[in-house]
Amino acid sequence: MTRGVILIAKNNREIDYVKQAAFLSSRVKKYLGLPTTLITDSSDYLKKNSLEESFDNIIITKNSEHTVKKYRDGLIYQNTLDFKNTDRSSVYSLTPYEETLILDTDLIVSDNTLNNCFDQRSDLMMYSNAFELSGWRDTSEFKYITDVGPKFYWATAVFFRKSPVIEIFFNLVTHIQENWPHYRKLYQIVSPVFRNDFAFSIAVHIMNGYTNDEFVKEMPGTLYYTTDRDELISLKDDEFLFILEKEDQSNYFMSKIKGKTVHVMNKYSLGRVINDN
């Protein structure tokens, strides 16, 4: 049974998602020993920067529909940029693998925990729990998608095995995406920005019969993350050095984590570290 990782990378004018994907692909091969497939609209950029060989397979798609969102660089900078995030629901039909891990390009793989997905019986796994490294923030927004539910699932990392039921699930995610204004109102979501986390969470809720049942299983290990108000300072092999925002929001404190896979939401600081590696 073929196994591999899908990475989706579509640049905007400040964030180099393609370079993030190339960096992550090298770490996937080092720590997971898996092939990678890139889904992108940036064929010319790949050639110009000699990044094609970073991936085992490349799928070129058309320019995506996009929304805009606010990107932060710690406490010093923020900007509103294009956010091209509408391809994830198409991965079921695009993946060349029978068993697939979809990973955000800012999820920095630093151990082999995700390989345990392939040993599980479940055909669909995502994280519903995660650990925020500062330790002081209110993380209730990642428990339920709104105050009235349903349960929040991270689309940051998704494992699926092809089957008729999982195909229905991805078709449902596509339907939710195409009818986002309706589902946003139905689930009382305030922000107009389409988020894959929300679409996948709503699809799970529907597939569960509008309950918190067990259609989707928990991913192995723990999803660690830092917010875009924090900064990644360095990454040496599997050791991260962060400066994390203090609770009074006036300054930072240092934190190290080693041998864990971490979701680094500050893409500016991630870009700087990638350039240094």
Summarize pLDDT for 155-202 with one digit per residue, the tens: 999 999 999 999 999 999 999 999 999 999 999 999 888 999 999 999
Report yes or no on whether pTM surpasses 0.85. yes
Summarize pLDDT for 256-277 with one digit per residue, the tens: 999 999 999 999 999 999 999 8
Residue ranges in the chain assigned as alpha helix (H): 17-31, 43-48, 91-94, 164-178, 180-186, 196-207, 267-276
For the cut 70, the answer to whether the pLDDT of residue 20 exceeds it is yes
Rounded CA gap, 104 and 265, in Å? Answer: 10
Work out the number of other CB atoms within 10 angstroms of the CB of residue 157: 22
| Domain 3-142+152-163+216-276, CATH number (from 3.30.70, 3.30.300, 3.10.20, 3.90.550) | 3.90.550
Q: Is 228 exposed, middle or buried (0-12, 13-18, 19+ CB in 10 A)?
A: buried
- pLDDT confidence of residue 147: 87
pLDDT band at 148 (very low <50, low <70, confident <90, very high): confident
Summarize pLDDT for 59-107 with one digit per residue, the tens: 999 866 778 999 999 998 999 999 999 999 999 999 999 999 999 999 9
- pLDDT confidence of residue 22: 98
Residue carrying structure tokens 């629901």 = 89
